[in-house]
Amino acid sequence: MPRAKKHPAPAPELVEAMIDRRYGFSAGRGRGLAANPVLAAILGRGSCRRFRRKPVPPPLLEAILAAAQSSGSKSDLQACSIVVLRDRVRRRRLAAACASPWLAAVPVQLVFCADLRRHRRACARHGLPFAQDNLDGWLNACVDAALALQAALLAAEGSGLGGCPVSALRNALGPVSTLLRLPPGVFPLLGLAVGYPAAPARVSMRLPPAAVLHDEFYRDCPEAELLAYDARRHAREPIPPAKQKQTGLYGLAPVCTWSLNVARQLSVTERADLAAFLRARGFNP
Ligand SMILES: Cc1cc2nc3c(=O)[nH]c(=O)nc-3n(C[C@H](O)[C@H](O)[C@H](O)COP(=O)(O)O)c2cc1C
């Protein structure tokens, strides 16, 4: 019998090259490191909004949910709840409620909620006041929920799935809360669309270290760095006309840079009714 040929394992990708791809220029960071699987998955990740029909196996989904619950939690308060939406009709209803048609074709939709309800019950159970039922308590619960989402996303991506966080749920807080039967004290912070990706992830370019990372203390980044990022990003990932923000107000920009699109988006107030919604739903922001 001829011996089977041994194929050498592929060389691990170099961290420096992955970092350069993330920043879009040769940043000279992470020199000499070989990527471990976790680092490689994070540095090479990108959001996925188009999925194959293939269902997510239940044990894998269970593992992703346990990974979500494995993230850190402020004071071990465990203030996150996750609603798992698999039913097609309910997923379609969610997509319609938040005017995001692509959500209808997502195999599994997870909704990460900031949950103060269990704390309220613990205080009642032990005859104590719930004095921390305030903005700080809500913020802590939101941080827990966001960290749990990120852990789930990385677990999903590391398992060959793709995903995308969905803040569009907050475009329709009332209908979403009704659809998910959320009781008072439970706030739908973010969705996470999960499934097998229809295409490989695309690494989207991030702001340079000079803009985001500060050695010992904060310094405003020179304008030139930000302009250079706009130019670099426009050259590699131009924003298509359909992705330009507020074209109704400002028209189509011939060159829409990242910062122009950010400024256009932020020139209009979004979700101004959030504080009123929270109060109506039993929070005290
Ligand atoms: C908190 C949060 C909310 C997001 N909400 C949405 C959303 O509602 N709809 C959407 O298409 N993408 C959403 N995204 C995905 C971002 O658009 C995406 O992360 C960003 O464009 C960077 O691209 P990348 O993740 O591929 O690197 C969200 C991401 C985060 C972190």
Number of Cβ atoms within 10 Å of the Cβ of 199: 12
Which pLDDT score, from 0 to 100, does residue 10 have? 63
Q: pTM value?
A: 0.94
Is 108 a residue whose pLDDT tops 80? yes
Rounded average pLDDT over 48-58: 97
Q: How far is the CA of 165 from the centre of ligand 1 (A)?
A: 6
Q: Is pLDDT of 85 > 90? A: yes
* CATH architecture of the domain with range 58-198: 3-Layer(aba) Sandwich (3.40)
Q: To test ligand 1's pocket by mutation, which of 23, 142, 167 has the most ligand atoms within 8 angstroms of CB?
A: 167
pLDDT digits (tens, 9 = 90+) for 251-272: 999 999 999 999 999 999 999 9
Write phi, then psi, for 193 (nearest 5 degrees): -80, 135
Per-residue pLDDT band for 8 (boundaries 50, 70, 90) equals low
Tell me: pLDDT of 117 over 60.
Answer: yes
What is the SS3 string spanning 125-171?
HCCCCCCCCCHHHHHHHHHHHHHHHHHHHHHHHHCCCEEEEEHHHHH
pLDDT digits (tens, 9 = 90+) for 166-207: 999 999 999 999 999 999 999 999 999 999 999 999 999 999
Span from the CA of 163 to the centroid of ligand 1 (angstroms): 10
Ligand 1 centroid distance, CA of 164 (Å): 6
For the chain, the structural domain boundaries read 58-198, 209-266
Angle between helix 58-69 and 135-158 (nearest 10): 140
What does the pLDDT read at residue 13?
82
